[in-house]
Amino acid sequence: MINELYQKAFELDQKDELAPFREEFVNEPHTIYLDGNSLGKLPKKTIEQTNNLVANQWGKGLIRSWNDHWIDLPQKTAAKIAEIVGAQPDEIFVGDSTSLNLYKLAFAALHLNQQKKKIISDNLNFPTDLYILQGLIHQQFKDHSLSIIESQNGITVSEKQFEETIDNHTALVVLSHVVFKSAFMYDMAQINALAHQKDALVIWDLSHSVGAVPINLNESEADMAVGCTYKYLNGGPGAPAFLYVRRDLQKQLQSPVWAWFSHQAPFDFSLDYQPKDSIQRFAVGTPSVLSLAAIEAGLDITIETGIDRLRAKSQQQTEFLIELIQQLLVPIGFSIASPLDVNQRGSHISIRHPEGYRISQAMIKPNDGSKIIIPDFRPPDNIRLGIAPLYNTFTELVDSVERIWKIVTEEQFKSYSNERTVVT
Ligand SMILES: *Cc1c(COP(=O)(O)O)cnc(C)c1O
């Protein structure tokens, strides 16, 4: 059976028109990387571009490089992100972290919709998003309440649950477009329409979808969004995040952080605050030039490949991976914790096993000379297998599943500790 699966993977790799893009990245030998949904690989061009920036623009140009190279960098980067998420360049701000951008937008939305007191999210959301909302209620919006929609199966949430929860008291809905654990993907246009019927605003967190699935913020009538660039966009550890506000909403929203980069004329050094009229009213301080420059190559590769081709390969790969899991891993005690309908999921597959943590450790640190396989682990027992269609091959998927099968059937995981590392 395994030989047939390898044969099939070989044929799929042969036919894969995105295969050449793998060479745009640094690929460690003897290592299979299935964590592009947490930290994307390093594009080779990024090495060259950041070296040049550090050695020449910073080293030699110093302060002059602000005018020569850097001052337009945030807007240039924003325009590229806009193309990837189906928005206009003047609707995207790049900078800060996803968490902080969510704070700014959620504050602004609640401030605008003061008369309504209900906030909605779900229990599949990324914890930082819920913490931000809890903090806003605790510190600023004390009469507000947070309604958490509970997934029935830990994998999906139904539209019906939303219809029941969104009402005329709802000020704001905050959801991850693709949820981090199960990879369930919301129908963005549908939720936006439901919320708008009740005059509620929606903020989408695109961190697990941007660069992996088609997003059209304008067409789906999205109000606001945030997202990160270090996952499928390969922008590097801690790369600046972005936020989106649709054009006609921008002037109505007020950032909670008044600072000089959101001021109409920062270099007039006026002592009175006057926010910019544009999306830049959500800026705070000096842009992180080194990290901004490091995002560029990843964005260029994504734009060149085209999100539709990326999605097509990603869907083919998650389908293939599910087939492998069903054949080899379900019989030995795994269950699949992602939607089986390809249209309802993003680009990673979660599998569960009571020994999930030790199995993931055995994958990362083999002691029998096997290939290193890097997934990640999410408590209590999820192993996430992230597929980045820009660089993952079909053969890597067979290798990985065969390896997991071996770790379990040979009980290799038993020689690993259950003690958790800081970052998992
Ligand atoms: C990765 C991720 C984040 C990360 O937030 P940071 O502030 O950049 O650390 C936030 N939300 C979601 C849904 C994520 O997947």
pLDDT tens digits, 163-213: 999 999 999 999 999 999 999 999 999 999 999 999 999 999 999 999 999
The whole-angstrom separation of Cα 203 and Cα 116 is: 16
Angle at Cα 228 formed by Cα 222 and Cα 231, nearest 5°? 125
The whole-angstrom separation of Cα 314 and Cα 382 is: 20
Find the 403 Cα to ligand 1 centroid distance in Å. 30
Find the 60 Cα to ligand 1 centroid distance in Å. 35
Marked catalytic residue, from 25, 103, 107, 126: 126
What is the model's pLDDT at position 8? 98
Last residue of a domain, one of 288, 304, 320: 304
Last residue of a domain, one of 263, 284, 304: 304
**Residue 195 near residue 201 (C-beta atoms within 8 A):** yes
41 within some domain: no
User: Is 384 tagged catalytic?
Assistant: yes
The single residue listed with the structure tokens 């999906």 is 156
- Give every residue of the chain whose pLDDT is below 50, as ranges: none
Provide the domain limits for residue 236: 47-304
Report CA dihedral (67, 69, 74, 78) to the nearest 10 degrees: 130
The whole-angstrom separation of Cα 342 and Cα 344 is: 5
User: Is 104 tagged catalytic?
Assistant: no
What is the model's pLDDT at position 3? 94
Q: Which of 36, 392, 102, 94 is nearest to 239 (CA)?
A: 94
- For residue 62, what are the contacts with CB-CB under 8 A and spacing of at least 6? none
What is the model's pLDDT at position 193? 98
The backbone torsions φ and ψ at residue 204, rounded to the nearest 5 degrees and listed phi first, read -100, 135
40 within some domain: no
For residue 124 and ligand 1, the question of a CB distance below 6 A is answered with no
Find the 226 Cα to ligand 1 centroid distance in Å. 9
Last residue of a domain, one of 273, 304, 335: 304
39 within some domain: no
What is the model's pLDDT at position 1? 83
When divided into structural domains, the chain yields a total of: 2
- For residue 42, what are the contacts with CB-CB under 8 A and spacing of at least 6? 25, 26, 234, 236
Marked catalytic residue, from 35, 96, 122, 205: 205
Q: Which residue among 101, 125, 126, 243 is best mutated to probe the pocket of ligand 1, counting the most ligand atoms within 8 A of its Cβ? A: 126
Marked catalytic residue, from 103, 141, 230, 244: 230
**Residue 266 near residue 260 (C-beta atoms within 8 A):** yes
